[in-house]
Amino acid sequence: MKKMKRIGRFHVITDTLLQTCHSHAQLAALAIAGGADTIQLREKNGSTKEIIRAAEQMQALCRNAGVTFIVNDRVDVAIASGADGVHLGQDDFPIPLARKLLGEKAIIGGSAGTVEEARKCLMEGADYIGFGPVYPTSSKADAAPAGGLDLLREVMEMIPLPIVAIGGITEANAPLVMKAGAYGIAVISAVCCQMDPTEAARSLGCVLEPYGHG
Protein backbone atom coordinates (compact mmCIF):
# COMPACT_ATOMS: atom_id res chain seq x y z
CA MET A 1 0.00 0.00 0.00
CA LYS A 2 1.29 3.41 -0.90
CA LYS A 3 2.13 5.60 2.10
CA MET A 4 -1.08 7.27 3.19
CA LYS A 5 -1.44 11.02 3.39
CA ARG A 6 -4.24 12.88 5.12
CA ILE A 7 -6.88 11.59 2.76
CA GLY A 8 -10.36 11.95 4.18
CA ARG A 9 -13.22 9.51 4.01
CA PHE A 10 -16.00 12.07 3.63
CA HIS A 11 -15.47 14.41 0.69
CA VAL A 12 -17.95 17.19 -0.08
CA ILE A 13 -17.59 18.78 -3.50
CA THR A 14 -18.99 22.31 -3.54
CA ASP A 15 -21.27 23.38 -6.36
CA THR A 16 -22.90 26.67 -7.32
CA LEU A 17 -24.70 25.52 -10.46
CA LEU A 18 -26.99 22.85 -9.03
CA GLN A 19 -27.87 25.24 -6.22
CA THR A 20 -27.59 29.03 -5.96
CA CYS A 21 -28.40 29.63 -2.29
CA HIS A 22 -24.82 29.33 -1.07
CA SER A 23 -21.37 30.31 -2.29
CA HIS A 24 -18.50 27.82 -2.41
CA ALA A 25 -17.11 29.18 0.85
CA GLN A 26 -20.50 29.05 2.55
CA LEU A 27 -20.99 25.46 1.45
CA ALA A 28 -17.54 24.60 2.74
CA ALA A 29 -18.35 26.07 6.14
CA LEU A 30 -21.71 24.29 6.31
CA ALA A 31 -20.22 20.95 5.27
CA ILE A 32 -17.35 21.25 7.74
CA ALA A 33 -19.85 22.02 10.50
CA GLY A 34 -21.59 18.78 9.58
CA GLY A 35 -18.43 16.70 9.77
CA ALA A 36 -16.94 16.62 6.26
CA ASP A 37 -13.20 15.94 6.48
CA THR A 38 -12.35 16.93 2.91
CA ILE A 39 -13.69 19.84 0.87
CA GLN A 40 -13.21 19.99 -2.89
CA LEU A 41 -13.76 23.12 -4.96
CA ARG A 42 -15.12 22.36 -8.40
CA GLU A 43 -15.73 25.45 -10.52
CA LYS A 44 -15.66 25.49 -14.30
CA ASN A 45 -17.02 29.01 -14.79
CA GLY A 46 -15.90 32.47 -13.78
CA SER A 47 -12.55 34.22 -14.06
CA THR A 48 -9.39 32.71 -12.65
CA LYS A 49 -9.17 35.61 -10.20
CA GLU A 50 -12.66 34.87 -8.89
CA ILE A 51 -11.92 31.17 -8.51
CA ILE A 52 -8.67 31.90 -6.67
CA ARG A 53 -10.53 34.24 -4.30
CA ALA A 54 -13.07 31.52 -3.52
CA ALA A 55 -10.29 28.97 -3.07
CA GLU A 56 -8.41 31.24 -0.66
CA GLN A 57 -11.54 31.65 1.47
CA MET A 58 -12.13 27.91 1.47
CA GLN A 59 -8.52 27.07 2.28
CA ALA A 60 -8.65 29.42 5.30
CA LEU A 61 -11.81 27.71 6.55
CA CYS A 62 -10.36 24.25 6.02
CA ARG A 63 -7.05 25.08 7.64
CA ASN A 64 -8.75 26.46 10.74
CA ALA A 65 -10.90 23.32 10.99
CA GLY A 66 -8.12 20.84 10.26
CA VAL A 67 -9.90 19.73 7.10
CA THR A 68 -8.24 18.81 3.80
CA PHE A 69 -8.83 21.24 0.92
CA ILE A 70 -8.65 20.00 -2.67
CA VAL A 71 -9.12 21.89 -5.92
CA ASN A 72 -10.67 20.10 -8.87
CA ASP A 73 -8.72 20.32 -12.13
CA ARG A 74 -7.12 23.74 -11.58
CA VAL A 75 -3.51 23.20 -10.55
CA ASP A 76 -2.88 26.93 -10.87
CA VAL A 77 -5.66 27.70 -8.41
CA ALA A 78 -4.36 25.05 -6.02
CA ILE A 79 -0.91 26.65 -6.07
CA ALA A 80 -2.26 30.19 -5.71
CA SER A 81 -4.51 29.31 -2.76
CA GLY A 82 -2.13 27.01 -0.93
CA ALA A 83 -4.53 24.07 -1.26
CA ASP A 84 -3.56 20.66 0.09
CA GLY A 85 -3.85 19.18 -3.37
CA VAL A 86 -5.82 18.65 -6.55
CA HIS A 87 -8.25 16.17 -8.01
CA LEU A 88 -7.78 15.44 -11.71
CA GLY A 89 -10.02 13.79 -14.26
CA GLN A 90 -8.83 11.56 -17.08
CA ASP A 91 -8.79 14.50 -19.50
CA ASP A 92 -7.60 17.11 -17.01
CA PHE A 93 -4.09 18.25 -16.15
CA PRO A 94 -1.69 15.25 -16.29
CA ILE A 95 -1.03 13.71 -12.87
CA PRO A 96 2.77 13.41 -13.32
CA LEU A 97 3.06 17.07 -14.28
CA ALA A 98 0.83 18.11 -11.38
CA ARG A 99 3.13 16.17 -9.06
CA LYS A 100 6.14 17.94 -10.50
CA LEU A 101 4.54 21.34 -9.88
CA LEU A 102 2.93 20.63 -6.51
CA GLY A 103 5.58 18.43 -4.93
CA GLU A 104 5.53 15.10 -3.14
CA LYS A 105 3.62 16.38 -0.10
CA ALA A 106 0.59 17.42 -2.15
CA ILE A 107 -2.44 15.15 -2.27
CA ILE A 108 -3.34 14.24 -5.83
CA GLY A 109 -6.52 12.36 -6.59
CA GLY A 110 -7.49 10.91 -9.93
CA SER A 111 -10.92 10.17 -11.36
CA ALA A 112 -11.63 6.73 -12.82
CA GLY A 113 -14.66 4.89 -14.11
CA THR A 114 -13.02 1.63 -15.17
CA VAL A 115 -10.33 -0.68 -13.86
CA GLU A 116 -8.04 0.47 -16.67
CA GLU A 117 -8.48 4.14 -15.75
CA ALA A 118 -7.89 3.35 -12.10
CA ARG A 119 -4.69 1.47 -13.00
CA LYS A 120 -3.55 4.48 -15.03
CA CYS A 121 -4.09 6.76 -12.01
CA LEU A 122 -2.05 4.35 -9.89
CA MET A 123 0.82 4.17 -12.37
CA GLU A 124 0.93 7.95 -12.75
CA GLY A 125 1.27 8.49 -9.02
CA ALA A 126 -2.18 9.38 -7.68
CA ASP A 127 -2.62 9.22 -3.89
CA TYR A 128 -6.26 8.18 -4.06
CA ILE A 129 -8.89 7.46 -6.70
CA GLY A 130 -12.35 8.94 -6.99
CA PHE A 131 -14.22 6.05 -8.58
CA GLY A 132 -17.61 6.32 -10.23
CA PRO A 133 -20.27 7.00 -10.91
CA VAL A 134 -21.32 4.12 -8.68
CA TYR A 135 -24.98 5.05 -9.04
CA PRO A 136 -26.75 7.20 -11.67
CA THR A 137 -26.07 10.89 -11.07
CA SER A 138 -27.39 14.18 -12.38
CA SER A 139 -24.65 16.26 -10.75
CA LYS A 140 -22.33 15.91 -13.73
CA ALA A 141 -23.68 16.44 -17.23
CA ASP A 142 -21.10 14.22 -18.95
CA ALA A 143 -21.10 11.44 -16.36
CA ALA A 144 -20.54 7.91 -17.63
CA PRO A 145 -23.08 5.15 -17.01
CA ALA A 146 -23.19 3.92 -13.42
CA GLY A 147 -20.73 1.12 -12.75
CA GLY A 148 -22.43 -0.32 -9.68
CA LEU A 149 -21.04 -2.00 -6.59
CA ASP A 150 -19.57 -5.03 -8.37
CA LEU A 151 -17.24 -2.86 -10.44
CA LEU A 152 -16.36 -0.86 -7.33
CA ARG A 153 -15.37 -4.09 -5.57
CA GLU A 154 -13.29 -5.18 -8.56
CA VAL A 155 -11.36 -1.93 -8.56
CA MET A 156 -10.71 -2.15 -4.83
CA GLU A 157 -9.37 -5.68 -5.22
CA MET A 158 -6.95 -4.67 -7.96
CA ILE A 159 -5.82 -1.16 -7.02
CA PRO A 160 -3.79 -0.65 -3.81
CA LEU A 161 -4.95 2.93 -3.23
CA PRO A 162 -7.77 4.47 -1.16
CA ILE A 163 -10.89 4.29 -3.32
CA VAL A 164 -13.36 7.11 -2.72
CA ALA A 165 -16.71 6.27 -4.28
CA ILE A 166 -18.66 8.99 -6.05
CA GLY A 167 -21.84 9.28 -8.08
CA GLY A 168 -25.41 9.20 -6.85
CA ILE A 169 -24.40 8.43 -3.26
CA THR A 170 -27.03 9.25 -0.64
CA GLU A 171 -27.66 8.60 3.03
CA ALA A 172 -29.73 5.59 1.96
CA ASN A 173 -27.14 3.83 -0.20
CA ALA A 174 -23.92 4.99 1.49
CA PRO A 175 -23.93 1.95 3.82
CA LEU A 176 -23.94 -0.36 0.78
CA VAL A 177 -20.97 1.49 -0.68
CA MET A 178 -19.02 1.27 2.57
CA LYS A 179 -19.94 -2.39 3.11
CA ALA A 180 -18.57 -3.05 -0.36
CA GLY A 181 -15.21 -1.89 1.00
CA ALA A 182 -14.88 1.71 -0.20
CA TYR A 183 -12.36 3.83 1.69
CA GLY A 184 -14.80 6.72 1.64
CA ILE A 185 -17.40 8.66 -0.31
CA ALA A 186 -17.60 11.93 -2.21
CA VAL A 187 -20.90 13.74 -2.63
CA ILE A 188 -22.30 16.87 -4.20
CA SER A 189 -26.10 16.91 -4.25
CA ALA A 190 -26.49 14.85 -1.06
CA VAL A 191 -25.11 17.82 0.88
CA CYS A 192 -24.98 20.94 -1.29
CA CYS A 193 -28.50 20.69 -2.68
CA GLN A 194 -30.24 19.95 0.62
CA MET A 195 -32.27 22.47 2.57
CA ASP A 196 -29.84 22.14 5.48
CA PRO A 197 -26.39 21.16 4.19
CA THR A 198 -24.94 20.91 7.68
CA GLU A 199 -27.60 18.47 8.86
CA ALA A 200 -27.31 16.52 5.60
CA ALA A 201 -23.55 16.21 6.13
CA ARG A 202 -24.05 15.22 9.76
CA SER A 203 -26.48 12.47 8.77
CA LEU A 204 -24.08 11.10 6.18
CA GLY A 205 -21.26 11.24 8.70
CA CYS A 206 -23.30 9.15 11.12
CA VAL A 207 -23.74 6.54 8.39
CA LEU A 208 -19.97 6.42 7.83
CA GLU A 209 -18.93 6.19 11.49
CA PRO A 210 -19.21 2.38 11.78
CA TYR A 211 -16.82 2.08 8.84
CA GLY A 212 -14.00 4.16 10.26
CA HIS A 213 -15.14 7.74 9.67
CA GLY A 214 -14.66 10.22 12.47
- Partners of 184 in beta bridges: 164
**Residue 145 confidence (pLDDT):** 77
Q: Which one is catalytic: 111, 139, 189, 203?
A: 111
For the cut 80, the answer to whether the pLDDT of residue 211 exceeds it is yes
pLDDT digits (tens, 9 = 90+) for 69-84: 999 999 999 999 999 9
Residue spans of the domains in the chain: they are 10-211
**pTM as predicted:** 0.94
For the cut 50, the answer to whether the pLDDT of residue 214 exceeds it is no
Work out the pLDDT band at 155, boundaries 50, 70, 90: very high
For the cut 90, the answer to whether the pLDDT of residue 114 exceeds it is yes
| Mean pLDDT to the nearest integer, 133-146 | 76
Instruction: Give the separation between CA 210 and CA 96, rounded to whole angstroms.
Output: 35
Instruction: Give the separation between CA 214 and CA 211, rounded to whole angstroms.
Output: 9
Q: In the chain, pLDDT over 70 holds for what percent of residues? A: 94
Peptide linkage before 133 cis (omega within 30 of 0): yes
H, E, C per residue of 125-182: CCCEEEECCCCCCCCCCCCCCCCHHHHHHHHHHHCCCCEEEECCCCCCCHHHHHHCCC
Q: Which one is catalytic: 5, 53, 119, 140?
A: 140
Work out the pLDDT band at 142, boundaries 50, 70, 90: low
Q: What does CATH list as the number for 10-211?
A: 3.20.20.70
Q: For this structure, is 63 an active site residue?
A: no
Work out the pLDDT band at 29, boundaries 50, 70, 90: very high
Q: For this structure, is 23 an active site residue?
A: no
H helix or E strand, kind and range, residue 185: strand 184-187
Q: Which one is catalytic: 42, 139, 189, 203?
A: 42
For the cut 80, the answer to whether the pLDDT of residue 15 exceeds it is yes
Q: For this structure, is 74 an active site residue?
A: no
- CA 148, 117, 86, 15 dihedral sign is negative
